[in-house]
Amino acid sequence: MALQLIQTLAVVIGVAFGLAQLRQLSHQREVQAGLQLLAPLQTPDSAETMLLIHGLPENLTGAELRQRLGEKFRGTLATLALFESLGPIVARGHVPIEMYAEFYRGPTLLCWRKFRRYIEEERQGGWPMLFEWLQWLAERMEALPQGGNDIPAHQRFSSWKSSKDYPRLSIPRQ
């Protein structure tokens, strides 16, 4: 009887240890994914392109975008393509939507607002799936609760003392 109890206890402890290891592995995967998510859009060229996009008025036609941006038009499309490539990664759950939103909520919404008319024109012209994942991400970003991500980090995390404070401070306030 005592031996059976010890064996059962050993199995329970083994399962608990295994579950803890899986949880730690999942966390490590999220951290790694977050770091990889930063790379393509954290270059000087990407920063310059985002400033160009920010400076554009909304609702420009494709012709107006080409005229305003000239040779930089291709670079702006490359930036939109980066967001497009992140959509399936988020949809598959490889990067949690909350993590994506912390990094790219603003830029995603900005790109969608500035290029929406152009994208819709191109879709009507025969490219129906152009930047479909950018649109999907923008719609997800718009659907997120207002609050946490709309407060600048220097204000939202002003009482931060350690990484243990992160969950409490990152919760969207309503």
CB contact at 8 A, 45 and 75: yes
Query: In the chain, where are the structural domains located?
Result: 46-148
81 with 40: CB under 8 angstroms? Answer: no
- On the question of pLDDT at 124 being above 50, the answer is yes
Mean pLDDT of the 43-54 span: 91
Task: Give the whole-number percent of the chain exceeding pLDDT 90.
Answer: 43
Question: Residue 173's pLDDT band (boundaries 50, 70, 90)?
Answer: very low
Task: Give, in order, the Cα–Cα distances in Å from 7 to each of 2, 4, 12, 16, 132.
Answer: 9, 5, 9, 14, 54
**Residue 152 pLDDT more than 80?**
no
Q: Tell me the pLDDT tens digit for each residue of 79-120.
A: 999 999 889 988 988 788 888 888 889 999 999 999 999 999
List helix spans (H) across 40-72: 44-54, 62-69
| The dihedral sign for the CA sequence 170, 92, 36, 48 | negative
Residue 135: predicted pLDDT: 98
Q: How far apart are CA 145 and CA 72, in angstroms?
A: 34
For range 23-29, the mean pLDDT = 77
Q: Work out the pLDDT band at 132, boundaries 50, 70, 90.
A: very high
pTM assigned to the model: 0.74
